[in-house]
Amino acid sequence: MAKATFAAGCFWGVEDAFRQVKGVTSTTVGYTGGAKQNPTYKEVCTGQTGHAEAVELEFDPRQVSYRELLAAFFQAHDPTQLNRQGPDFGTQYRSAIFFHDPEQESEAHAAKAALDKAAIFKRPIVTQIIPAAEFYRAEEYHQKYFEKQGIRTCHVP
């Protein structure tokens, strides 16, 4: 198994998107990229911890490549919005790829550059590509939130 960590707005939807990818064996929502140790959801929501809402996942590289996970990541959100996804705004909702090794870093930069070159999005991609840091598991009620609630989205149409 291998590990990948992504932030793309509210972690409920990001987790759900990755849970649909064949080869992803587990997902955990939590907080990473900030300075506060063991932050709570309430603290992260203030924007003062520096953490992003993120999803850490384990995947089987024989079933899904990191490149395919990057494609799912870029399709799951708007990577051109700085610190915002839909109605959610603040640094905790930033777009970020937290790489775990040099190969993931290289593939993340290549994917971002290819999308920018292809002009898939109307604005430049602002996704951060940074080393994975300590990942703090979110409170249990956030884990597999959509499944627990019996819903597929948290936004009102």
Question: Buried (b) or exposed (e) across 118-133, using 16+ Cβ within 10 A?
Answer: eeeeeeebbbbbbebe
- Per DSSP, helices labelled H in 31-142 are 41-45, 66-75, 102-118
* 10 counts as catalytic: yes
Residues 6+ positions from 120 with CB-CB distance below 8 Å: none
Q: What CA–CA distance (Å, rounded) separates 93 from 12? A: 12
By C-alpha distance, which of 23, 111, 27, 22 is closest to 75?
A: 111
Which one is catalytic: 7, 10, 52, 97?
10
* Catalytic residue positions, numbered: 10
